[in-house]
Amino acid sequence: MKLGIVYHMPCWRASDGTLRELEGSFARYVDSLAPYFDEISLCAPSPVAPPGSGSAIRSSNVTLAPLPAFDGPAQFYPKLPVMLPRLMSWVRGLDLLHCRVPTPAAPFAFACARMVGTPAFSLVVGDLRALLPTMPYRGVRKAVWRAYTEFEEAAIQWMAGSTLTFANGAALAAKHSRPNHPVHQTTTTTIAPSDIATRTDTCTRRPVRILTVSRIDPRKGLRVLPAVVRRLTALGIDTRLDIVGPAVGRPGEDERAAILADAVDQVETRIAIRGPVPLDELLPTYRDYDLFVLPTLPGEGVPRVLLEAMTSGTPVVTTRVSGIPSLITHEVNGLLVEHATAEAIADALARLVQDAPLRQRLIANGYETARAHTLPAQAAIMMQAVARSFGISLRQPSAA
């Protein structure tokens, strides 16, 4: 059984022969599905010059069907005459297609699969329409982005209405479900059982170290963080905050510059933007921090970094948006704020610093949440549904 996965994360062959993916979360997802198939073929943009060290895809049965490199729809669509024949040829060689959406190539790969009779299933990981108000575009660019968003929304609903579909979190599952065609809720994750830590408390030292892991772009709400640190300092809490993640395109570079400019006033020595860190290096790093904060805006499914933080025993403060409440229960395994304001976020962080019993309860319950959402557990649930829906027999992972 040969599974094809189409997605937009850059993949490439390194000089040592390993197949690598830029961020690492997609690599781990692919590895979690690999035991169920004879071969997995990744149809993804392949840069001529690797953008970093990336993360290795460890499964030996994963191959790459490279597409010309693209960063997003603005680079993808001009290359569509080249993309379409490649997608059709690739889909013809598959037994089963998997589309992670939204992503530019997926609607065309799905259409090719329908034409040649290849069964397909999809996983919805984000909500472009909910992100529209946060996009920093004006004039023609705003109109073009809105048109692209509506095309992706229509394509996702077409897939969700005609084949097995999973969605990351309750909000996305509800959005794309129909009375006669429900969407299956899942939670995207990167964690293995061996990643779950054992520490029982944090914030026992000064300065209090706070971590944010996120792509830097206007949709993530990161511009509020300098004001958060400024308020914590005013409350007498000695704080250092690190932001880990890449700046995404020109809007991301502008956001990064705005964060640094806002930090110049009083808190520049307390905030560092560290850039992207490969996932295998990042997961142990969470344990060096006392608290985790993600002030994200609407448009998320369930950010996988929340589970990564809980896995490391790092208490979480985040916003009550999109699919996040389907993972985080307020005062049980994290703290939720209604709006991503500096006052609300800083006060929640300060509460964790000052309330050890609350902090310890969130850590313990976070471990329980992490154990229920490991990669093997989520992959098993998805693959059982795939086998049942399409009447196919999949390989079964070894007990080891």
Express each pLDDT in 123-166 by its tens digit.
999 888 888 887 778 899 889 989 999 999 999 999 999 999 99
Query: Quick one: what percent of the chain has pLDDT higher than 70?
Result: 100
Checking if the pLDDT of 378 tops 80, the result is yes
Architecture of domain 193-371: 3-Layer(aba) Sandwich (3.40)
Task: State the pLDDT at residue 399.
Answer: 60
Checking if the pLDDT of 387 tops 60, the result is yes
Checking if the pLDDT of 266 tops 90, the result is no
Alpha carbons 120 and 113: distance in angstroms, whole number = 7
Which of 109, 102, 144, 137 is CA-nearest to residue 123?
102
Rg (C-alpha) for the chain, rounded Å, is 21
124 beta partners: 101, 167
Task: State the pLDDT at residue 374.
Answer: 95
Strands (DSSP E) found in 247-374? 271-275, 291-294, 316-319, 335-337
Task: State the pLDDT at residue 346.
Answer: 98
Binned at pLDDT 50, 70 and 90, residue 354 comes out as very high
For residue 236 the two structure tokens come to: 């007498």
> Burial level of 133, CB count in 10 A (0-12/13-18/19+)?
exposed
Half-sphere exposure of 157 (CA within 13 A, CB side): 13
The secondary structure element, H or E, covering residue 395 is none
Range name among 9-13, 50-54, 353-357, 362-366 with the lowest pLDDT average = 50-54
For residue 141 the two structure tokens come to: 């660019």
Task: State the pLDDT at residue 223.
Answer: 94
Q: Please state the rounded mean pLDDT for residues 104-121.
A: 97
Checking if the pLDDT of 14 tops 80, the result is yes
Total-model pTM: 0.88
Q: Please state the rounded mean pLDDT for residues 1-13.
A: 95
Longest dimension (CA), the chain: 65
Alpha carbons 167 and 32: distance in angstroms, whole number = 17
CATH number of 2-189+374-390: 3.40.50.2000
Say if residues 339 and 295 touch (Cβ distance below 8 Å): no
Encode burial over 74-109: b for 16+ CB neighbours within 10 A, e otherwise.
eebeebeeebeebbbebbeebebbbbbbbbbbbbbb
Do 193-371 and 2-189+374-390 fall under one CATH topology? yes
Per-domain boundaries in the chain: 2-189+374-390, 193-371
Binned at pLDDT 50, 70 and 90, residue 251 comes out as confident
Checking if the pLDDT of 249 tops 80, the result is no
